[in-house]
Amino acid sequence: MPRGPEGRGRAVGGLCITELVSWGVLYYTVPATLPSLVEQTGWSATQIMTGFTAGLLVNAAATVPVGRLIDRHGPRWVMTAGSVLGAVALVAVAASTEPRWFAAAWMLAGLAQACLLYPPAFTALTRWYGPGRVRPLTILVLTAGLASTVFAPITAELTTELGWRDAYLVLAALMLFVTAPIHVVTLNLPWPAARVTDRPGDAGHIRQVTSTRGFRLLALAFAVTGLGLYAATTNLVPLLVDRGIDPTTAATVLGLCGAGQLLGRVGFPALTRRTQPHVRDVAILTAASVSVVVLALSPGALLPAIATAVFAGAARGAFTLIQASAVADRWGTRDFGTINALATTPAAIAIALAPATGAALAEWAGGYTLAWLLLGGLVAIGALLVTGTAPPGPPAPEPGGTPSEPGGATDST
């Protein structure tokens, strides 16, 4: 069983591969194949996206139980089971003959998402690396951030060449024969031993943290920020088309927004060395709010639209790392899987509902300007809420390391 830096490095490498594949297969498949699905099935886009959203909501609901399992047993078998379940779910998707069975299959896939996407991987790296978590977390999200770039064209090509059902079967095989074995082989590090007073799943400690005002404010900040920021960015194409930019160019700008996420994630470690956690979190969410407001007021010129989209993407990318690190920065890594799941579950629900929320808000407001100003205000509320989450003192010493530095997690690798 590998130990020390070599074993942890293998785990990071393995998770980079499996997160890239899991996000590409279990999240970006439907958006990438939506036109083909509509054409080949005769179902409406609304029916298809409703089924996909149902899966995302199941994912959000299952996040806390999965977090508890990982706290107690580690990530190896939970994530392996998620890969197998994901393969089964995709076979069920391929076999769907009507929208309700398509939705049921994606709900099964939602359980797999809860076992595979960011929260389990964040828990694993946070527990294994302790105070040195920022570097591996950043490497992980940078790699997984390429999922749409890699898998959207691959999935679209598979669907064109094979038909959507066979394409999903190929993706199911990828989950079963690539991600599952990698989880078995690379996630076999010893799970950090708990101290007598530091038992995983200690309900008293979990309640102690989650009952604090700071925790409640942080969870609410995650939720309102996720809703506002994702509603604005996932509906970027119709906003730009409304401003006179052609659909193909607008889709390219959306891709550049995705590329902007990488910039935000690359710059995050430098912020952790120079700022207090709540200070940088407020700064990032404030920048996100500004980017949405600028989108609202943009006249439709292409270059400003590109610059603002990249800026918004960078804020969204940094927000992912805030969700990965904010709990540990404030309360340490004890029971991290459970506590972080409780903090991020409201945001997961909000993000699942964000695309439909943005479209509905624009329709209610009679256009995108007022709607996006409201979304920017929602993100600003998130930034304001984070100001109340500063811990009264430094986090408790973390298993396997020393207390985090005041500016966040240090890099011990």
Taking only the tens place, the pLDDT of each residue in 171-182 is 999 999 999 999
Report how far residue 400's alpha carbon sits from residue 405's, in angstroms, rounded to the nearest whole number: 15
Quick one: 255 exposed, middle or buried, by C-beta within 10 A (0-12, 13-18, 19+)? Answer: middle
Statement: residue 5 has pLDDT above 70? no
Question: In the chain, how many H helices and how many E strands?
Answer: 18, 0
Statement: residue 392 has pLDDT above 70? no
Per-residue model confidence (pLDDT) at position 197: 40
Statement: residue 401 has pLDDT above 80? no
Name which of 100, 353, 97 is nearest 226 in CA terms. Answer: 353
- 222-226, 248-252, 361-365: which has the minimum mean pLDDT? 248-252
- 14-23, 140-149, 392-401: which has the minimum mean pLDDT? 392-401
Report how far residue 317's alpha carbon sits from residue 311's, in angstroms, rounded to the nearest whole number: 10
324 or 103, greater pLDDT:
103
Report how far residue 337's alpha carbon sits from residue 331's, in angstroms, rounded to the nearest whole number: 12
CA distances, 97 to each of 45, 55, 87, 163, 214 (Å): 15, 17, 18, 14, 47
Q: Are 210 and 342 in contact (CB under 8 A)?
A: yes
* Tokens standing for residue 12: 């990071």
Q: Which of 19-33, 83-97, 270-284 has the highest mean pLDDT?
A: 83-97
Q: Which of 26-40, 208-222, 234-248 has the highest mean pLDDT?
A: 208-222
Tokens 């999200």, residue?
141
Q: What is the pLDDT of residues 308-343, one digit of tens each?
A: 888 998 998 899 889 988 998 888 888 888 898 899
The pTM of the full predicted model, rounded to 2 decimals, is 0.75
Per-residue model confidence (pLDDT) at position 92: 97
Q: Phi/psi at 97 (nearest 5 deg)?
A: -110, -10
Task: Please give the radius of gyration of the chain, using alpha carbons only, rounded to the nearest integer.
Answer: 21
Report how far residue 184's alpha carbon sits from residue 201's, in angstroms, rounded to the nearest whole number: 24
Q: Phi/psi at 250 (nearest 5 deg)?
A: -65, -40
Q: What is the pLDDT of residues 31-80, one digit of tens each?
A: 777 778 888 899 887 788 888 889 989 998 999 899 889 988 899 999 99
Q: Which amino acid is at 362?
A: A
* Tokens standing for residue 72: 């107690």
Question: What is the DSSP annotation of 276-291?
Answer: -HHHHHHHHHHHHHHH
* Tokens standing for residue 176: 């079963």
- The domains of the chain, with CATH numbers, are 4-186 (1.20.1250.20), 203-389 (1.20.1250.20)
β-partners of residue 405 are 408
Mean pLDDT of 284-299: 91
* Tokens standing for residue 39: 């054409």
Q: Which of 14-23, 289-298, 392-401 has the highest mean pLDDT?
A: 14-23
Q: Are 126 and 404 in contact (CB under 8 A)?
A: no
| Per-residue pLDDT band at 3 (split at 50, 70, 90) | low
DSSP, collapsed to helix, strand or coil, labels residue 76 as: helix
